[in-house]
Structure 1
């Protein structure tokens, strides 16, 4: 099946080459359940940064299923200066070439005069994945907790949440997210790259699922 996809990608893609992504991917995250470092499972991150300009990745980034939503990533963070700076740096990294992911950063992208909670709920629904920048300030921010609950309500077991922690003891990690693997930005220098790769993997899986569904529908019609 994988070989068939490779042939399909090569036969369909005719896009200009992009610059190759220069970042190493660390193959470990910190599971909230065991609170210890553990290698990712084979279903977690299948794309590496070396595939930044591959035809397969370009096909995924230009797939119709990706563009069904307005944003690739919704970023939730607190109002403190340090958290705003961290979130802005993360978004700048994700939006840079070659992937140019589409991010929602509420301070930048929320409409002036709009109701904050309504705007946030709509952005959560319009995003493929949700990144939570969890810090001590995040835990004390009612707005952040509201956004986290909205993200959980949209898909608590859908692999669409990416928790990031910084300057946070594992005992402070929210119980609502105990089933999620998190990335510790304080200890992992490649944390941004891991987020980028996780988003690409999700979009790749989503695209393949849509292709398989489309092939099944075509087969049923022929029969």
Structure 2
């Protein structure tokens, strides 16, 4: 009995000490511990989307963007992606929808193709992405069917992912970049 009483009193004592060291433990539930990794980056989770994918309206570019987004959104990656044709508000102004998507996204992927370079809206998108954070490490240029000499002058100081060499590797690099970018 003495042993049992001493165990009860020491556990009650520990409980009292815990209550003293945790302020207002009864009024607010304790927050679960947050893992200290890039996947739980506060900046990333404060945004509506992990990545916005900018591309031309040419069918082949839309197909490539859909493949990329499908890869990124599939389990276990489950990233939150924005594609203009799929996620923009019907009836919304294109420029407003685009600017909002860029602001609401942690990273911005540009699918740069010859058609992208010929499209005035794509040039506008690229400049909006650059204006949002030109040296922020939040721009992921993806090139396809494009020679190095065709690569936009505005992006020359960014490393790009060449999807012609290995699209699956390129998609994985986008995923890894989203998860690592603080």
Instruction: Give the structure 1 partner of residue 33 of structure 2.
Output: 12
Structure 1: how far apart are the matches of 2:41 and 2:136? Answer: 20
Partner of residue 133, structure 1: 111
Q: Is residue 148 of structure 2 the alignment partner of residue 170 of structure 1?
A: yes
TM-score by length of 2: 0.78
1:182 corresponds to which of 160, 171, 176? 160
Which consecutive aligned stretches of 4+ in structure 1 deviate over 3 angstroms post-superposition? 59-65
Deviation sequence 1:107-162 (CA, Å, 0-9, x none): 00000000000110011011110000000000001111001000000111110000
- Tell me what 1:79 maps to: 57
Q: Aligned equivalents of 1:181 and 1:60: distance in 2?
A: 21
User: Is the aligned partner of 1:145 residue 2:166?
Assistant: no
Task: Give the equivalent residue in structure 1 for 2:74.
Answer: 96
The whole-number CA distance in structure 1 between the counterparts of 2:148 and 2:126 is 18
Question: How many matched pairs?
Answer: 150
Matches of residues 48-87 of structure 1 in structure 2 within 5 Å? 60-87=38-65
Unaligned runs of at least 5 residues, structure 1: 1-10, 14-54, 207-223
> For the residues of structure 2 that align with 1:173 and 1:84, how far apart are their CA atoms?
20
DSSP-derived class of the 1:65 partner: helix
Mapped partners of 1:105, 1:113: distance in 2 = 16
2:21 match: none
Asked whether 1:197 is paired with 2:176, we answer: yes
Q: 1:134·1:166 contact (CA, 8 Å) conserved in 2?
A: yes
Does structure 2 retain, via aligned residues, the 8 Å contact 1:61–1:99? no
Give the whole-Å Cα distance in 2 for the aligned partners of 1:108 and 1:200.
23
Q: Note if contact 2:140-2:174 (Cα within 8 Å) is conserved in structure 1.
A: yes
TM-score (norm. length: structure 1): 0.64
**Cα offset, 1:60, TM superposition:** 4.3
Q: RMSD between aligned alpha carbons?
A: 1.7
Paired position in structure 1 for 2:20: none
CA drift at 1:188: 2.4
